[in-house]
Amino acid sequence: MASKFYKKILIATDGSEYTNNSIDYGLELAKNTGAKVHVIYVIDTAAFASIPMDAAWESMYSLLKQEGDEATKQVADKADAEGLEVERNTVEGHPAEEIIKYAEKNSISLIVLGTLGKSGLDRFLLGSVAEKVVRTSKIPVLVVRGKK
């Protein structure tokens, strides 16, 4: 059944177990509405702000890029198994900003994301990615609590 509301659904992942529940919700919604799935992983370049650009930085970046590629592949494999059309993307920048920028650029109908892995002091200092997306996105957002 094709939906007039959901043509493209963006699922954001950070590769953590906290996003598994939101991935399942996003894929189920796409399956029920006939929407195309876009999946995004954002390499948080703010984490590199204080690291000199040298071999250590490149090594860390390479690891995060690999983690992003694996995280988006896992979602894409699940989407493929459900017969859904899917597009994978690993980008870099500030996660909330990049998620919103991607969604606007690609005419996304709904952003789906979980309560991602950061908590405690990290969340207090940086703010929650989900919270920032909800607060600043012009596109509807579905936030799904992760299972513990």
pLDDT digits (tens, 9 = 90+) for 58-96: 788 888 899 999 999 999 999 999 999 999 999 999 999
Rounded Cα distance, 72 and 65, in Å: 11
What does pLDDT average to in each consecutive run of 10 residues of the chain (148 residues)?
Answer: 87 89 96 97 78 68 91 97 97 95 98 73 59 94 82
**pLDDT at position 46:** 74
Rounded Cα distance, 102 and 5, in Å: 18
**pLDDT at position 17:** 83
Q: Are 23 and 86 in contact (CB under 8 A)?
A: no
**pLDDT at position 25:** 96
The domains located in the chain, with CATH, are: 8-144 (3.40.50.12370)
Whether this prediction's pTM lies above 0.75 is answered by yes
Q: Are 30 and 8 in contact (CB under 8 A)?
A: no
**pLDDT at position 122:** 46
**pLDDT at position 59:** 80
Q: Are 69 and 40 in contact (CB under 8 A)?
A: no
Rounded Cα distance, 18 and 14, in Å: 9
Which residue, 132, 141, 138, 145, is CA-closest to 6? 141
